[in-house]
Structure 1
């Protein structure tokens, strides 16, 4: 007798049964987005935020097309120069987010620190409030970050329709290339748009209206908030990660040299003060001895 393959509904039900109890049902789209956003926030050290105004699907497709072109050019240039930087163009993701779910995921990633499972606890878990459940969709995670709503550093940034551009590494070269498409400046500026001859598709009647609907808000760099100007500063660093490291080393060296000068100056001032005080005391002692000698001389 031929075996009957399990139906799709039966498969989905069995998969759901394998999921641990959650505050929100894991098969819901909101729950899946929550997990996806949390993964991006944990693994992507550089995330750029744009506000968008009713982008159409064709506009969005054209913007992505032009963006991947310039990003792949950076990979090709790095390879031609023998750079050790990995090719990351195809892993840089531009997407529109559900702002409220994204903000909730960010609170879990930044504020939730799950405790270890209860010592001695054993047996199956049937209650969603069981303290042994510490995953991102658990009741413990939801309860732990509920009071942080609206108090996150990014709360003022995540308002309205938002699009994100996430990078798997902090690459100023790729960020600079992305800005020439998504947030270009005048030709004399830091991020001039490619010429019409080099990128004709950038200037068609679908792409340009879409780009005008994007506005740079800021960035999340290694978990820290950067405003629009600071984000542009990261994109303006020459020499990629090597240049970034060189600037960081220079800043640290400058700080250490300044500290050394400050400490040296303090030491010199203390020495001069003590030396001056010693001289005064010696003069006072010598003056007192001369007076005693003068008094002891016979008239």
Structure 2
């Protein structure tokens, strides 16, 4: 008789008791300002890592590793982890936690004490971004990192569920807006699931969402990213108005806005929520061409 193959037990990850013990050692009280909600459930960590679809040779950028819950899971799946942490106490503790829980992987971790909104240099070029991001800065952090580190080819971020929906929204939907369009400049984004509140300590008051992205080339255009993003900001500043009216200030007048829109092949009576990133690039390019010609 052939005995059934035994499944090896999962590699241990930090649980609720471990997280609270580490926090007590550091005399740490999670702050809302830094968006410190630590994952205390190992199965959630495994789910996040699996959803990120990491290759064995990835160098993963993790923003806000906190007490190391996700860091350990990422070290199990990827070749290296570069962890960017703004809190000096947490940044100093992370290597010791990894040494205790994954002693064979200590050399695979780089810890960078920095604000992810301002970091310009990393010790290694990251190929993937996987992070549990603070709700209040999630969108600007994602956009900033995609802009600063072109080697980021894919990733998965956990954000406020509503933000996850907006990042993955498509033109024409009610929640489509500035985050949706700007994210599309860099990548395709899709919702990869939701995460309940009870897997965090302290528990947030709202659910979280997982967003997976794959980088792609921006639209072919002679307009710069800054010029295209200026059109997007103007269009959604008054999203209930037609593009002719909403872009009047950006173009210089309603007449000039209409001229740019028609030159770009866009109906001036349309609203910004129906346009994709390529259309916004055409509008920016049309205005730049008109300025040059003038």
Q: What TM-score does the superposition give when structure 2 sets the normalisation length? A: 0.25
Comparing both structures, which one devotes a greater share of its residues to strand?
A: 2
Of Structure 1 and Structure 2, the greater helix share is in 1
In terms of Rg, which structure is larger? 1
